[in-house]
Amino acid sequence: MTVPDDEATLPPAVPAATLIVFRDRTGLPPELLLVERSPRLAFAPGATVFPGGRIDPGDATLADQLGPDAPADAAARIAAIRETIEEAGVAIGVAAPTDVETIRTALRHGAALGEALGGTALDLDQLVPFARWRPRGGLSRVFDTLFYLARRPQDAPPARVDSTENVRLDWASARETLDAAARGERTLIFPTRRNLERLAQFASYDEAVAHARATPVRRITPWIEPRDGVDHLCIPDDLGYPFTAEPVAAARRG
């Protein structure tokens, strides 16, 4: 079942972007880069998520500077790159080898990504569109988030948690993370759980990319409907997700 939404009925949302970084393993499912949010944050405190955040004005400015050949979602891709550098110290989509810690320090002191890069070009094609999630409302903050896939560069330095917004960083497969959540060792919000279930279907980054490119990216706004007398939080069934409903009482939304 696919339930369309009227854009005009939705409350304002903050444009945001998230990057799902893969690290392939020989003979094993790929690992994904995950961070645990600080319990002090207003949105999703203590939750395990992918690196990401709001699209800043500097991201839009840099996107405009790329010219007419840049993708329409360039500002979101730039935000995903910037947030992953800030939160995990991993530079995805940067065209040349660079000193990630220098960029990270500049960002920490308020520089926009374009300034922090110091002339280093971006390669936005390294990011593959995967999904778009936009809750209906009722949360402390509502984000309209574009999700992207990318592969960790082989020569990238070790990822390191930023210790401000996040308190922990891990590499783990989608299934390992879901199993850890089932044991009570991780907290997953509804979109992260659904995306991990979708990603758990793939044995490699290339498989995930092939699936993403064959699947439309359409805004997902979950809705509530009763099923067998129990209210469920639901999403469309035609966007590649193996599980499309969860009892409202069990779903953490923010």
- pLDDT tens by residue, 205-228: 999 999 999 999 999 999 999 999
User: Taking every pair of C-alpha atoms in the chain, what is the biggest distance, in angstroms?
Assistant: 58
- Quick: pLDDT tens for 231-248: 999 999 999 999 999 999
Asked whether residue 137 carries a pLDDT value surpassing 80, the answer given is no
Q: Are 76 and 82 in contact (CB under 8 A)?
A: no
Mean pLDDT of the residues in the chain: 92
Work out the burial of residue 96: count CB atoms within 10 Å of its CB; fewer than 13 is exposed, 13-18 middle, 19 or more buried. Answer: exposed
Residue that wins the pLDDT comparison between 61 and 253: 61
Band (pLDDT 50/70/90 cuts) for residue 139 is low
Residue % of the chain over a pLDDT of 90: 79
Average pLDDT over residues 71-96: 94
Band (pLDDT 50/70/90 cuts) for residue 99 is confident
Q: What is the pLDDT of residue 12?
A: 85
- Burial code (b: 16+ CB inside 10 Å, e: under 16) for 169-181 equals bbbbbbebbbebb
Band (pLDDT 50/70/90 cuts) for residue 127 is very high
DSSP H or E segment with residue 174: helix 174-182
What DSSP character marks residue 120?
Answer: P
SS3 233: strand
Band (pLDDT 50/70/90 cuts) for residue 182 is very high
Work out the burial of residue 188: count CB atoms within 10 Å of its CB; fewer than 13 is exposed, 13-18 middle, 19 or more buried. Answer: buried
Tokens of 42: 């207003």
- Quick: pLDDT tens for 140-172: 678 999 999 999 988 888 999 987 888 999 999
Residue % of the chain over a pLDDT of 70: 95
Average pLDDT over residues 81-103: 89
131 - beta bridge partners?
A: 147
Asked whether residue 7 carries a pLDDT value surpassing 90, the answer given is no
Dist CA 143 CA 233 (whole Å): 17
Q: What is the pLDDT of residue 11?
A: 76
Handedness of CA 104, 204, 129, 242 (dihedral sign): negative
Average pLDDT over residues 64-80: 96
Amino acid at 157: P
**Which value, to the nearest 10 degrees, does the dihedral of the CA atoms of residues 176, 212, 48, 90 take?**
100
Q: What is the pLDDT of residue 91?
A: 94
Asked whether residue 58 carries a pLDDT value surpassing 90, the answer given is yes
Q: pTM, whole model, 2 decimals?
A: 0.94
Q: What is the pLDDT of residue 6?
A: 63
Domains in the chain, CATH or no CATH each: 7-250 (3.90.79.10)
Residue 223: count of CB within 10 angstroms of its CB: 13
Tokens of 227: 């099923």
Q: What is the pLDDT of residue 2?
A: 52
Average pLDDT over residues 43-56: 94
Average pLDDT over residues 49-76: 96
